[in-house]
Amino acid sequence: MKTTCFSCNAINEFTSAFQDELGWHVICPICDSSYDIDIELFLISNGIKVKYWGNGVGIVDGNDADITEQYEDINYYVCPVEFTHKKVWSDHYNMFLRSEFEIVV
C-alpha cells in the first residue's frame, strides 16, 4: 500500500504499520521519520469476496485491527460462502492474515 511521507514527501510502499497509544503509523525508509496513517484506508472492507486455501471462497466480515499492534498481523474474519445464508455467521468464521487470501473480482 502506498503512502506519502509528511516530512520528505516521498511516496512509500508499506507492508507493515504499527499501532501505539497515538494510533497507527509507518516509518519512512527515506528520511526515517514516523507519520500517522488512517488504517481504515488500507483494510479490506467487509463484504469483499476472497479466495483462500486453494479453492475456498468466503466473505470478509470484520477484522481485529482494534486489538492488533502491527498491520501485517491483522486477522480478517472470513465466512465461507456456503454459510452466508445462515443468520449467524460468526459460528463459521475462519481467521486469515492478508497474505493468506486474495480478493476475488
Type of residue numbered 68:
T
Residues 56, 28 share a domain: no
Is it the case that residue 81 has pLDDT exceeding 90? yes
Convert 1-55 into a string of H (helix), E (strand) and C (coil).
Answer: CEEECCCCCCEEECCCCEEECCEEEEECCCCCCEEECCHHHCCCCCCCEEEECCC
Residues 36, 7 share a domain: yes
d(C-alpha 105, C-alpha 14), whole Å: 23
Q: Which domain holds residue 82?
A: 49-103
| Distances, alpha carbon 39 to alpha carbons 8, 50, 71, in Å | 21, 20, 8
Per-chain mean pLDDT for the chain = 94
Prediction pTM value: 0.82
Residues 12, 58 share a domain: no
Write the CB contacts of 40 (distance below 8 Å, at least 6 apart in sequence).
none
Residues 56, 22 share a domain: no
d(C-alpha 85, C-alpha 3), whole Å: 38
Per residue in 17-62, pLDDT (tens digit) is 999 998 999 999 999 999 999 999 999 999 999 999 989 999 999 9
What average pLDDT does range 87-94 have in this prediction? 94
Name the band, by pLDDT with cuts 50, 70 and 90, for residue 15. confident
Residues 61, 24 share a domain: no
Name the band, by pLDDT with cuts 50, 70 and 90, for residue 92. very high
